[in-house]
Structure 1
């Protein structure tokens, strides 16, 4: 019936196309068990690319290393897994700041961990 030349084409209501926002990855949504990948061959399998910022002032995310996976439940609280199979996120660590999606800095204080307000 769709190819019938004598019948009028059915009317389709206008539907606006939904477009996903284009931009960088939000570091404030990353928490839980994390595996840090350093092998450049496996970079394409990682969720994001991070740079370990030596200065706290320039970091996008202050990270506190948790000893227990259950306490890594907010942004900035990471439990680093020894294997990539059990990780919630795999992140590639680069030494080139320009190639990173966001910058992290490890903090010793639990109360300072989290996202920086922008």
Structure 2
């Protein structure tokens, strides 16, 4: 009797174990671990609706000053040229974007900060 109870308990609690195929997973848009802004390039959709924040890859803050930004971004007109870190082409909607990023008005809530630059060669991650 005891062993059948133990087996039933393991079957019920088994899918909740880490790494099990039936275990619940985070949402598809949510990153696992910290976000590396140096790996974000291509087509990007900037979401501003707080109700859709959970479906975004990361949370960004648009820094008004270049000195404090984690990533300098240059807006490319053609998505084929957005092939390095900091080179972003705007997507018309989130379905056509490689990354959907939520823009927050609060710097403390952001995963990383960006600043838009007008010079293409300045785009990229800041070196520390």
Asked if Structure 1 and Structure 2 have the same fold, meaning a TM-score greater than 0.5 normalized by the shorter chain, the answer is: yes
TM alignment of 1:83-94, pairs within 5 A: 83-94=93-104
Alpha-carbon distance in 1 for matches of 2:81, 2:93: 19
Deviation at 1:24, TM superposition (A): 2.5
Alpha-carbon distance in 2 for matches of 1:90, 1:38: 10
Deviation at 1:23, TM superposition (A): 5.0
Point out which structure has higher relative CO (alpha carbons under 8 A, 6+ apart): 1
Alpha-carbon distance in 1 for matches of 2:33, 2:62: 21
Structure 2 unaligned blocks of 5 or more: 1-31
**Structure in which a larger fraction of residues adopt helix:** 2
TM-score (structure 2 length as normaliser): 0.74
Identify the match of residue 31 of structure 1 among 24, 31, 41: 41
Q: What RMSD, in angstroms, separates the aligned Cα atoms of the two structures?
A: 1.0
Where in structure 1 do 4 or more consecutive aligned residues deviate above 2 Å?
A: none
Larger radius of gyration: 1
DSSP-derived class of the 1:78 partner:
strand
Alpha-carbon distance in 2 for matches of 1:97, 1:108: 22
Aligned length: 97
